[in-house]
Amino acid sequence: MNLLITGASGLLGGRIAEHADSRGDSVFSGYLAHHPPFGYPLKLDVTSPQSVSEAFRRARPDVVFHTAAITGVDRCELERDLATQVNVEGTRNVADAAKNAGAFLVFLSSDYVFDGSKGLYREEDERNPVNFLGKTKALAEDIVRSSGARHLVARTSFVFGSRAAKAEPNFALWAIRKLKAHAPFRVVADQFITPTYDRNLVRMLFEAADRRIEGTLHLAGATRLSKYDFAFSIAKSFGLDWELLIPSSMGEVGWVAKRPVDSSLDTSNARALLENKPMELSESLKGLRGEMPD
């Protein structure tokens, strides 16, 4: 199978390319600035229709995983034009090309399309983003749905893994490094999420793509908890000093962009549909621990 991955130098895009490579797929790894670790590297600027068309011409994909995005919440708030160009117009370019190529499009969306007022959101719940990142993802979802391409909108939440994307650690790696350095640090205790182990997410994504499951599906971890409790679970799992964790509130952080209080995702549809089920956090951390050096 021919695969085209946008954002293949990111945490998730890199994992998708790694998994596809291990399966023997033909993997074309689209990137803009940072050379991807797996697959055939393909320079790709999603904001350029010409660049996207050329990538599709070279890759001739059966399936496209569209992960390229500006995902920094505060960055999106401060650089709205860039976020719109990449997250919205970039998705339009990829979706149009997928339609023209007859490729199945898997679009990675976010729990931040929800306002966080209730948590454990189901696929059909009303979207009402409270920050610009969430707004761009909601607009991109609409573009994918109206593109005419066969597609899956896969919403996920707080992805973590053993690999740093573009030299930037995800939350789990950041917390482990802080704890190993015996450095006390603050973690918000009043924001709730469903942390998602990257390897579990990739297996779910590939099963959905192989089976051409269409529509919208929540692919995230199976455990809802606060960011503080996530950090606490990491500390306990890795045998590190959890007393270094200082609980704080969202109001104390000084973020530029507003965050949803509880953007956790209900993954019951994924559990019912897929053989690769959303993993409980304890199982995910066991997998992470097995990947990490002592």
Distance between CA atoms of residues 179 and 83, nearest Å = 33
Q: Do 19 and 81 lie in a common domain?
A: yes
203 in a domain, yes or no? yes
269 in a domain, yes or no? no
Per the listing, tokens 């650690």 go with 169
230 in a domain, yes or no? yes
Quick one: pLDDT band at residue 165, thresholds 50, 70, 90?
low
Q: Do 82 and 180 lie in a common domain?
A: no
186 in a domain, yes or no? yes
- pLDDT tens across 147-161, in order? 999 999 999 999 999
Q: Do 43 and 180 lie in a common domain?
A: no
Q: Do 133 and 252 lie in a common domain?
A: no
Q: Do 203 and 233 lie in a common domain?
A: no
Whether the pLDDT of residue 247 is over 70: the answer is yes
Distance between CA atoms of residues 261 and 265, nearest Å = 13
* pLDDT above 90: percentage of residues in the chain: 94
Q: Do 61 and 170 lie in a common domain?
A: no
The three-state secondary structure class of 141 is helix
CB 163 within 8 A of CB 15: yes
273 in a domain, yes or no? no
Whether the pLDDT of residue 168 is over 70: the answer is no
Quick one: pLDDT band at residue 293, thresholds 50, 70, 90?
confident
270 in a domain, yes or no? no
Neighbours of 128 (CB within 10 A): 14
Q: Do 171 and 134 lie in a common domain?
A: no
User: In this structure, what CATH number is given to the domain that contains residue 101?
Assistant: 3.40.50.720
104 in a domain, yes or no? yes
Q: Do 35 and 133 lie in a common domain?
A: yes
Give residue 251's domain range. 162-193+223-262+279-291
Structure tokens at 167: 């030299």
- pLDDT tens across 76-117, in order? 999 999 999 999 999 999 999 999 999 999 999 999 999 999
Q: Do 7 and 134 lie in a common domain?
A: yes
Could you give the number of structural domains in the chain? 2
Q: In the prediction, which pLDDT does 169 show?
A: 79
Q: In the prediction, which pLDDT does 175 show?
A: 96
Residue 40 DSSP one-character state: E
271 in a domain, yes or no? no
Q: In the prediction, which pLDDT does 292 show?
A: 85
pTM of the predicted protein model: 0.96
Q: Do 18 and 67 lie in a common domain?
A: yes
User: In this structure, what CATH number is given to the domain that contains residue 233?
Assistant: 3.90.25.10
Q: In the prediction, which pLDDT does 267 show?
A: 98
Q: Do 82 and 148 lie in a common domain?
A: yes
Cα angle value 278/283/287 (rounded, 5°)? 105
- pLDDT tens across 115-129, in order? 999 999 999 999 999
Q: Do 237 and 110 lie in a common domain?
A: no
Round the average pLDDT of the chain to a whole number and report it.
96
Per the listing, tokens 């993802």 go with 137
Q: In the Cβ-directed half-sphere of 243, how many Cα atoms lie within 13 Å?
A: 0
Quick one: pLDDT band at residue 167, thresholds 50, 70, 90?
low
